[in-house]
Amino acid sequence: MPRYFEDIEVGATYELDGSYEVTEDEVLEFAEKYDPQPFHTDKEAAKESIFGSLAASGWHTASICMRLLVDGFLDAETSMGARGIDDLQWKQPVYPGDTLHVDVEILEKRVSESRPEMGHVRSKLTGYNDDGEAVIEWKADGMFRRREADE
């Protein structure tokens, strides 16, 4: 069911269904292509790093959490993109074998002054590993279609 601007409540936290298991092959493939630092691409070098073993790139972690957000919260009919993110923080390393899940807290919302069919929603996404530790967090300014503008 589509989630319109009017359906989103300030102060609510949405615990999204779905999870994502991070695999070693995927960590290596992503890092080779986008973030080729030794602790992401070389298991032996990673043992000597501050991580102690192969760790996923933070950008990989962000991409996984974005996928979970798209699958569990955003809707093709009502999501109108985003204006940006702030306060991106990698809280804990993500390792092969970790399973990630996310929640979204709604911080504020307002109707667009220039586009009556759209509302702006400020939210905080937090991604967690299977031990319940926060591994990533960001605040985003999303845009959602308004149901009232369609009526």
Q: Is 90 helix (H, G, I), strand (E, B) or coil?
A: strand
CATH for 134 = 3.10.129.10
pLDDT tens readout for residues 119-145: 999 999 999 999 999 999 999 999 999
Return the pLDDT at 150: 56
Per the structure, the count of domains in the chain is: 1
Instruction: State pLDDT tens for residues 75-103.
Output: 999 999 999 999 999 999 999 999 999 99
Q: Find where tokens 């308004």 sit.
A: 146
Domain coverage including residue 84: 5-150
Instruction: Give the percent of the chain with pLDDT over 90.
Output: 95
